[in-house]
Structures are given as structure tokens and as C-alpha cells.
Structure 1
Amino acid sequence: MPLLGNPRTLRLPSRPAARLAVAGALALAALAVSAPGARADGPAPVTPASVDALVRDYREDTGLPGAAVAVTRGTEVVHAQGYGETPSGEAVTARTPMAVASVSKSFTALAVLQLVEEGRVELDDPVRDHLPEFVTADPRADRITVRQLLDQTSGMSDTGFPSFTRPRPDTLREAVEGMRGAELAADPGTRWEYHNPNSQVAARLVEVVSGRSFADYLEARVFGPLGMDDSSTGDTDRDLPPSAHGHLRVLGRAVAAPEPPAFGNGSGGVLSTAEDMAAWLIAQNNGGAGADGTRIASAESVALAHTPSPVSGSYALGWSVGETRSGARIVEHSGDLFTSTAHQALLPESGYGVAVMANTGMAYGDASAIVEGLVAMIEGGDATVPQPQGQVLLLGTDAVFLLLGAAAVLLSGRGVLRSRRWAGRRAGAPLWRTAARLLPLAGPPVLFAEVHRVVGFLYRGRDVAWIQVPYLYPSFMVLLGAAALGCAAVAAARLAALARGRADWRSRAAER
């Protein structure tokens, strides 16, 4: 359950798609004004009707199949609702479990901070003091602290340890044991670099220190106390229920697809609902206490989770800190899977919290786009819902790539049919010259086989598995696959024709 995007700078898309009026409700106004953080001269309160209108119009503009949305203010749930359908055609409701992807890192950080409160762990303790099984090929890893795992400054990186192309583990214990060959890309505490295994090590630390599985720990210490009855965490894509899978888009149409194989517990394994995420947002905005006063963490721990270190820049402990367009402080984290996305945001000055889960993949950014629209609405600005950047461009490029793929099929068919003529013209040519003519046909098949390395390079060294690339660029992979198969077919036909031609030449020579 991977994430390829860079959540350190969670700048949201900015292209508008539709203009929406913010609806008001007098009955809710007095309640909203009295909520924590409300200001008498502030913008009109957000209402269920205004949230519904925003999401409805966004779905109509983009074709987003389904989403779950939670909006809170202080200790009140403004709205928690599901929209549209799951890949299997069932309605998305406020209690439909969906993947929150890397939003899970904030849950992992809170679990560690609970152990810190109990005195069982210190943030600046070396990880190996509590987790002796955390051994790598780099001796510098002995100095990695618990804090550095959570704020992504451990020095670990995809360049030193592949997150996705390694053999997939099935448990957190296997995930940590599989790091024995890992090398660090920097000294611990000197550089920020987003790396999913950081959170997996942190989750395994929670297991070892607490003496219970990470799933059981979250249920007992977070989900249960907050009444998040439909939330859970899983290890791999096999643990995703049908409702947590999502869609790709091809030619602007959503196509249901299973999530590709990956391990994600601790870094991206939490499943939750609109109702449950509302409870989580309230606790985060209420100093670690739920709506009924049940406390899962101290106010100091929650504040610490929302505070970046000098080395990490804007990244805190499972959260990222920045500013909205109006200059207000925002504490947030996005989550990207290949068939779904999620985004959570806290606005401490107004007391609002927002969470969105959308069942389209990371190439489309739907969850973040909806969050941006909701934040704009909360701030009383232009509540225009932006389409994710490049969505119109993707529609055009899909059409171009698919047309080129069809052309590749036709051209390769023509090449196969004309292979004997091609071979006949080269019957007496030197072998090296004939081989040079065939060599360009190897380009598309080689690129098709190694495309994940190219994508990883374009993602600044992130580790990418081959199976993930069709989820990112489905129409391009159709084109590349058609070109690779076509080139292989033409090359095989030409080689066969050359072999037959040379056999005929030797036969005629023998007769003479």
C-alpha cells in the first residue's frame, strides 16, 4: 500500500472547475459561533448542505466514482457523509471503510507518543535500544532515534533500501528483518527524506514495546477509545476489503482496479470511514481528547506531533505544517495509493478539521482537490473546487497514446507481412549491418521491461515496482506494450525470413 508522492510540500492543485455558493443555516450558525476557535466576525459556518453541494459538483465535473468526507469544528461533527459508489457498485456511506494510505503515519506517530507518555520510550532513544532486531548493513543506523523515524530524518532512503521492489513481507516483523541489507543515504538527523519503511519500523517498535500486534494496539488505544468502530489496520493489499480498492481513469472514465501488491502496515495500512475520521479529527483539534472527553493523548503530545524539527523543515511527526492561501496555519497529511487517495487537514485557528478519502488513484489527486475546496469554503473565500492539475491534459494524452498504440499495432503488422521482402534486400549484406538494422527494434521491449527504473529516476530516486507503472500511466503503458510486442514480432519475422533466405541460398549453392 504505497505512496510515491512527496508529502513534505503538500501544495494542493489550483485550477478551478466549478463555482459554488456557500449555503448558510441559521440554526447551525449559533452553534458554530460558539465552537472552539470560532470568531464572531469570521466567515459564515460550513453546513452539511454546502459540503454536499461542493462534493456533488466536483463529482459531476470530474467523474469521481466515490468519496467519503468528514468536516468537524471543535468537538462537533459538521458533516460526515459518503458519496457515490465503491468499485463493486455499492453506495459509499459514512460507515464505508476506505484506505487512508499515508495518512496512517499520523496514527503510527500517536501510538509511539502514547508509549513516550508512559515512560516506556523516549523520542531521542536509539531505536535499537527498544528494537534489537532493527539491524542494517550500515553501522550508522545504530544511531537512528525514534524521533527520526517519525519525522523522516533517519537517513534511510529508497536509494539505499527499496521499498517496493524487494520481496514483499507479510508482517511488520518480516518488514524490519528484511532491512538487514539496507544502506543509509545520509547520517541520521542530517537530512529529510520521505521513506515508508521509517513508519514500518516505528510500528514494529510499538508492537515490541507494547507486547501486542500493531492492529490490536490501535484498536485498544486509539480506535476503541474514540469510538472508531469501523477502523482497522492491515499489513498488505490482501487485507483491503472490496470497498477500499478504487479506480484508474482512462479517457476520463473510471475503471475499477485492484490495488497492486505492496506492504503498508504502519506507513499506509489504516482503513477508516467518514464517521471515524471525524472522531480522529476532533481528538487532534481538541488536545488529544475525543468529543466525549475520552483522552488518547495529552495536549502536549498532540502539539509535539504537529511541530516540525529544524532538520525536517515542514514535516512534523506524521503530519506536515504549512499555510493556507489566506495565511492561516494548516496541519495536514496526504495519502496516495495507486487506486485511491486520502487527505486530512486541521485548521487550528478556526477549529475546523477536514478528511477526505476518494476512490481514484494518486495520478488524479481527487482527495486533495476536495480538501482544498473545503478549506477555501471554511475560510470564507472563493469556494471554487479545483480540478486536479493536469486532469484535462491526462484526457488528451490518453487519447493520443491510445491512438499511437493502435498505429503501432498496424505498423507492426505491416512490418511482419513485409519481412520476407526486407530479408531479401539484405541477403548478401554483412551480418553486422543487418544486426544494426534490427537493433532499434530492441528499444521498446527493453524500455517496457525497465520502465519502472525510468519512472523511479523521474520520481527522484523513489523505488517503483514494474506492476505499479501501469497504474500511474495506463494509456502510455498500452502504447509501450503495443510497441514492444510489435517490435518483437517484426524482429522475429525478419530473423525467420533471414534464416529461410540463407537456407535457400545454401541449398541453391549446393545444387550448383
Structure 2
Amino acid sequence: MNVKIRKWCLLYFAICLLAFFNGQAFAEQELDALDDYLHTFIEEHRIPGASIALTNEEGIYYTKTWGITGESEEEITNETPFTIGSISKSLTGLAVMKLVDDGEIELNDPITLHLPWFTMLDDPARQITIKQALIHTSGISTYDGLALSDQEEMTVNPIKARVKQLANVQLTAFPGDKHQYSNANYLILGALIEEVTNQPFAEYMAESVFAPLGMHAAAADFNTAEKNGYLSGYQSWFGIPVKSPLKYDHGGAPYGYMTASTIDMVEFITFLQQTDHKFIREEAIELYNYPHVQTGEDRYYGLGIRVSNPDTYEEMIWHSGSTPNSRSELFFLPDTGWGGVILTNKNHFLEEASLLNLRNGIIRILNGEQPEPVNPPFQIIPVLISALNLIVFFVLTYSLVKIKKDEIKNILTWRIAGILQLLIAIALFPMLTELVGVPWHTVKAFAPDFAFFIYMFFLLLLLNSFIHIFYSIKKPLETFNLRGF
């Protein structure tokens, strides 16, 4: 080799070596930025326990755990199971696609073809197809799905029992006409899986979905989840974590109560990253990930999975999940190969958006960009309700003082004020559930601090109305002063 060629070879080697070390330095900076960002987020949001994993085409790129579980306060590891909330729908949807791929069912089959006992108040409910249930266009409302969710009772065949409660429910749209995200759809699909396979839902998921995907600590029933180390999480009271008294929903696995660790969810992300699918055929997975129905400006719903910005370099396949004491995020970016899972054991409906912001911040760091600053959540609604309570308490105290001093002159006005407060108290809970669009038991589960102050407001209104009405009746009629009215 002549001297000139040797020099060029040495120069090329030096450039490669420099690029390698620069790449290593960039990766270390990226990991440091991730560490700092995640640590700040978890501290600011007072999350007791969390587990995060990020993957690329080479495998796990980053994994970290923080804190403790609820109940016996075990240290969180990447094998600690969390309830994954509505990410369960992605796995239920995959189970349905497995049955489609095996030729057991077809997407356009009516539900009643496989569940002849399924009925609702409307005849069109018999036309609901499997696909419509998967993409939430069955016509069953979000409210009616929540009314069946987060139950704590122990029943035999809990999924089937829950679906049978739909017999008293009316559709709010004709099947196929409108997207309404509803847990009821996935309860129906859970019952369908049981009917078609002649197996309990949890058993089918364990044998035909979790085991083939390598999700060895995942579970779709409480007994298995507990055996695998599942412990409940925390509810949020004004941002402060409080151990949750709520129990596992034994009929809720198809829509939101599956449990899994970050290692399990990495296996699911790996499945999404693959192009050669051994679990189901490529045609089935393309249908699974396809954006079947639009749910927002750039958001769509597949057959149990969400898709944002399809067919662009920003495309993201993802799903979020919530239970009263956990919050989770899962995502996969086909263009770059990045994927990730975030599991946390604290929740409040006013804090749910913050984990979406965390996910987006992580993606920005992975893309070499600066994330948005971490801001602690400010829960304005409970603060306003607290202020209302103080006002009503002040009115109550003022009324008692006026009565003691016998300074009430206009008894008719006093009585009307009492009747108005009584009417507000009676209408409070129906008006509130109508306003927020969710059943009261859901409010109690996902916003216990808010529910507590609503109860206080209700009791103060009742007490105040009772004092006003009772005093106005007891006071002799001749003391009425109509001139002030």
C-alpha cells in the first residue's frame, strides 16, 4: 500500500472514530436530558411510583423506575404490574383480530350472530357489527359505557353480566353513523371472545395473546394480577397522592383493567415494530393499525388502537389509559422506529393531560428538540368548589347570627331563599352529571377531592335551606314585612 492510500485510510478511520465518540456523547447528553426531564416531572406531579421504557429497532434504549406501589409500598421495578387502563382495548382489539385471522369470526359480522342473547332497547342494536364495536361507532354513548365501568362488585361471569345490563340502555346514534368512545363496546367484545372461544376472557388472553407475544407478567383478571405482584395505586387529592380504597373491576379487563409491566409492554411495542408478523398475518395487522374513523383534526381510531397523522413522517400509533388510581401511555413512531411506554400509579381526571404532555416531551427529546417546561397541575375546579363551600358556610353562619339576634324582618324572602336552596340541592347531582357528561360514581372515582367538596356543598345547602324554611314557618305570620319584598 503506497503512502497516499495509507494516509486516506487513516483519515477515514479517524473520521469514523470521531463520529462514534460524538454519537456516544450525544447519546449520553440525550439520556441525561431524559433523566432530568422525567425526574422533574415526577417530583412536580407527586407521582408515587412510575416505570418508563423507550425502545428503538435495536431493542430497549432507556428504562427507569421510580418510587413505590400502593398498599404494602413495594419498590417499583420494570417487572411491577400496573393497571394499564384503556391500553387494554388495544390488546382486546388484537385478540379479536386473532380470531378474525383464524377464520373464527369476520369484522362485518353482527354482534348478535355470535351473541344471540345480546339486546338493547332499540332494534337497530341488532345491526351492530364487530368492527363498529372496535372503532366505537356502535351508537352506544360514552356515558352509558362509563355507567358500566369501574364497578367493585364480585359477580359470576362479570363480563357477561355487565353486557346484559345494556338491555335497559338506548342507542344515541344509529350504528355506524357516529364515533362515541365507549367502554361498553369492549365489554361486548370481551363477551363475544368468551362465547366464540368457549373460554373465560382472561384465559383466552393469557394463552392466545399474552404468551405468544412474550407478555409473561400480563393478566386479565385480578387473581392472576395479584399473583404476579399487582398492588393498587393512588388517587389524587389536590395533587397529593392518597392510597386508593377502590378495588379492582372484575368485569373491566376488556376495556381497562388488564395489568402489565413495562417489560410486557415493551414486548407489545416490539410486535408493533415488526414487519414480519408471526402472531397474525400482515393483512390483519394492517387492518388493526388502519385509521378507520376520524376522531379529531389529525387523530383516528383503528381496531383498538389510535393513529395520529397517518401516512406522514409524524405518524404515531398509540393509546392512553386511565383507571381511578393509574395512568399510562404507549406509543410507536413508524418513521423513526421509536416506541415507549409510561406507567404511573396515580390519577385524577384533571391531571390526565399532563401525561400526554410528558409523552410529547419525551418524543421531542428523542428528536433532539427541547421539551416544553414541566408545570405542576393547577386544579382550578376543586378550588372553585372550595370557595363556593366557604360562601355557603358564611351564609349559614350569618343566618344563625341573625336568628339568634331575632333580626329577621322579611320572613317571606327568608322562606323563598330557603326553598331556592333546597331546589338547588335536589337538582345538584343530576345537573352536575349532565354538565360533565359522566355518571356520579365516575366523578367520585376519578376526582375524589372534587366529589368530597360537592358533597359538602350539598349538605351545607340542605342545612341552610332547612334553617331558612323552618324559621320562616315557626315565625308568627303577623311578623311578615311585605314592604321589603
TM range (shorter): 0.7 to 0.9
The residue that corresponds to 1:440 in the other structure is 420
**Residues 461-481 of structure 1, C-alpha deviations (whole Å, 9 max, x = no match):** xxx222332455555545443
Alpha-carbon distance in 1 for matches of 2:429, 2:473: 27
Alpha-carbon distance in 2 for matches of 1:45, 1:319: 33
Alpha-carbon distance in 1 for matches of 2:160, 2:141: 19
C-alpha spacing 1:267/1:491, structure 2 compared with 1 (3 Å): same
The residue that corresponds to 2:13 in the other structure is none
**Structure number with bigger Rg:** 2
Alpha-carbon distance in 2 for matches of 1:311, 1:126: 22
Q: CA deviation at 1:410?
A: 4.1
Q: CA deviation at 1:387?
A: 4.0
The residue that corresponds to 1:364 in the other structure is 351
Q: Counterpart amino acid of 2:430?
A: E
The residue that corresponds to 2:173 in the other structure is 186
Give unmatched runs, 5+ long, in structure 2: 1-18, 480-485
1:219 to 195, 206, 231: 206
Q: Secondary structure at the match of 1:489?
A: helix
Q: CA deviation at 1:196?
A: 1.0
Q: Counterpart amino acid of 1:440?
A: L
Number of aligned residues: 446
8 Å CA contact 1:401, 1:475 repeated in 2 = no
The residue that corresponds to 1:131 in the other structure is 115
Alpha-carbon distance in 1 for matches of 2:100, 2:43: 46
The residue that corresponds to 1:5 in the other structure is none
The residue that corresponds to 2:368 in the other structure is 380
Q: Secondary structure at the match of 2:177?
A: coil
The residue that corresponds to 1:83 in the other structure is 66
Answering whether residue 466 of structure 2 is matched by residue 482 of structure 1, we say no
C-alpha spacing 1:45/1:443, structure 2 compared with 1 (3 Å): farther
**Residues 461-511 of structure 1, C-alpha deviations (whole Å, 9 max, x = no match):** xxx222332455555545443333223223323444345444999xxxxxx
Q: CA deviation at 1:63?
A: 2.2
Q: Secondary structure at the match of 1:445?
A: helix
Q: Counterpart amino acid of 1:438?
A: G
C-alpha spacing 1:407/1:142, structure 2 compared with 1 (3 Å): closer
Deviates more, 1:341-350 or 1:64-73: 64-73
2:281 to 269, 294, 298: 298
Percent identity, aligned pairs only?
Answer: 22
TM-score (norm 2): 0.80
Q: CA deviation at 1:110?
A: 0.4
Q: CA deviation at 1:354?
A: 0.9
Deviates more, 1:494-503 or 1:48-57: 494-503
CA-atom RMSD, angstroms? 3.5
Q: CA deviation at 1:156?
A: 2.1
2:443 to 460, 463, 469: 469
Answering whether residue 316 of structure 2 is matched by residue 330 of structure 1, we say yes
1:449 to 425, 429, 432: 429
C-alpha spacing 1:142/1:474, structure 2 compared with 1 (3 Å): closer
**Residues 353-390 of structure 1, C-alpha deviations (whole Å, 9 max, x = no match):** 111122222320243232112211222222445447xx
8 Å CA contact 1:345, 1:355 repeated in 2 = yes
Q: CA deviation at 1:28?
A: 12
2:334 to 328, 340, 348: 348
Alpha-carbon distance in 1 for matches of 2:441, 2:51: 27
C-alpha spacing 1:138/1:330, structure 2 compared with 1 (3 Å): same
Alpha-carbon distance in 2 for matches of 1:138, 1:455: 25
8 Å CA contact 1:148, 1:188 repeated in 2 = yes
The residue that corresponds to 1:97 in the other structure is 81
8 Å CA contact 2:145, 2:185 repeated in 1 = no
Answering whether residue 382 of structure 2 is matched by residue 408 of structure 1, we say no
Q: CA deviation at 1:79?
A: 2.9
Alpha-carbon distance in 2 for matches of 1:54, 1:133: 52
Q: CA deviation at 1:114?
A: 0.6
**Residues 184-206 of structure 1, C-alpha deviations (whole Å, 9 max, x = no match):** 22222222221111111111111
Q: Secondary structure at the match of 1:415?
A: helix
Q: CA deviation at 1:217?
A: 0.8
Q: Counterpart amino acid of 2:101?
A: E
The residue that corresponds to 1:509 in the other structure is none
Q: Counterpart amino acid of 1:456?
A: V
Alpha-carbon distance in 2 for matches of 1:82, 1:440: 53
Q: CA deviation at 1:267?
A: 0.9
C-alpha spacing 1:155/1:184, structure 2 compared with 1 (3 Å): same
Q: Counterpart amino acid of 1:468?
A: T
Q: Secondary structure at the match of 1:87?
A: coil
Q: CA deviation at 1:58?
A: 1.2
Q: Secondary structure at the match of 2:209?
A: helix
C-alpha spacing 1:166/1:316, structure 2 compared with 1 (3 Å): closer
The residue that corresponds to 2:128 in the other structure is 144
Q: CA deviation at 1:249?
A: 3.7
Q: CA deviation at 1:340?
A: 2.1
Q: Secondary structure at the match of 1:72?
A: strand
C-alpha spacing 1:152/1:404, structure 2 compared with 1 (3 Å): closer
Deviates more, 1:267-276 or 1:439-448: 439-448
C-alpha spacing 1:397/1:176, structure 2 compared with 1 (3 Å): closer
**Residues 386-434 of structure 1, C-alpha deviations (whole Å, 9 max, x = no match):** 447xx23x2x66555435534533432332343355686356x6xxx65
Q: CA deviation at 1:218?
A: 0.9
Q: CA deviation at 1:128?
A: 1.4
1:108 to 79, 92, 95: 92
Q: Secondary structure at the match of 1:254?
A: strand
Alpha-carbon distance in 1 for matches of 2:405, 2:120: 59
2:186 to 187, 199, 204: 199
* Higher helix proportion: 2
The correspondence of residues 192-271 of structure 1 with structure 2, limited to 5 A, is 192-234=179-221, 243-250=231-238, 252-259=239-246, 263-271=251-259
8 Å CA contact 2:68, 2:76 repeated in 1 = yes
8 Å CA contact 1:124, 1:147 repeated in 2 = yes
Deviates more, 1:265-274 or 1:219-228: 219-228
Q: Counterpart amino acid of 2:53?
A: A
Q: CA deviation at 1:208?
A: 1.0
After the TM superposition, which parts of structure 1 deviate over 6 Å for at least 4 consecutive aligned residues?
A: 25-30, 238-242
Alpha-carbon distance in 1 for matches of 2:274, 2:22: 20
Q: CA deviation at 1:29?
A: 6.2
The residue that corresponds to 1:282 in the other structure is 270
Q: CA deviation at 1:282?
A: 0.7
Give unmatched runs, 5+ long, in structure 1: 1-24, 31-42, 290-294, 458-463, 506-512
C-alpha spacing 1:137/1:344, structure 2 compared with 1 (3 Å): same
Q: Secondary structure at the match of 1:233?
A: coil
**Residues 412-460 of structure 1, C-alpha deviations (whole Å, 9 max, x = no match):** 2332343355686356x6xxx6542322222552354335423434xxx
